[in-house]
């Protein structure tokens, strides 16, 4: 859980509404304590860079949630040249208006 030194819950922020949550469920905590998972973070800028990269490279418009996964994998140099599977849970069409605003594609 994201919390301050007094144990109060801190607000989380992400361009993705589905990732904008300050805590995880008990399964994640359990696996974290066992050391069977590793957690990391991606900035909004990195996620947007991955959003644009995948859209241009593959013609796939990913949802912002999937853009975070792509951004993470792009940082993992040890995985270059290896087969990696990402499960895209939905299209990024729902994020296009927000992406336009973030990327400043206004032609005015």
| Containing structural domain, residue 34 | 17-103
Question: Does a structural domain hold residue 1?
Answer: no
Question: Does a structural domain hold residue 9?
Answer: no
Question: Does a structural domain hold residue 29?
Answer: yes
Answer positive or negative: Cα dihedral of 95, 16, 42, 86.
negative
CA distance 19 to 10: 14
For residue 55, give the CATH number of its domain. Answer: 3.40.50.1100
Domain count of the chain? 1
Question: Does a structural domain hold residue 3?
Answer: no
pLDDT tens-place string over residues 44-85: 899 899 989 988 998 888 888 888 889 999 889 898 889 988
Question: Does a structural domain hold residue 55?
Answer: yes
* Nearest Cα residue to 46 out of 14, 77, 85: 14
How large a percentage of the chain has pLDDT more than 90? 8
């Amino acid at each position: 859980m994201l919390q301050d030194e007094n144990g109060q819950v801190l607000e989380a922020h992400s361009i993705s509404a589905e990732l904008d949550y300050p805590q995880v469920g008990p399964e994640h905590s359990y696996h974290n304590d066992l050391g069977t998972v590793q957690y990391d973070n991606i900035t909004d800028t990195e996620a947007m860079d991955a959003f644009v990269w995948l859209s241009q490279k593959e013609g796939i418009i990913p949802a912002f949630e999937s853009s975070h996964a792509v951004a993470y994998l792009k940082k993992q140099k040890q995985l270059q040249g290896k087969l990696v599977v990402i499960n895209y849970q939905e299209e990024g069409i729902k994020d296009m208006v927000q992406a336009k605003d973030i990327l400043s594609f206004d032609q005015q």
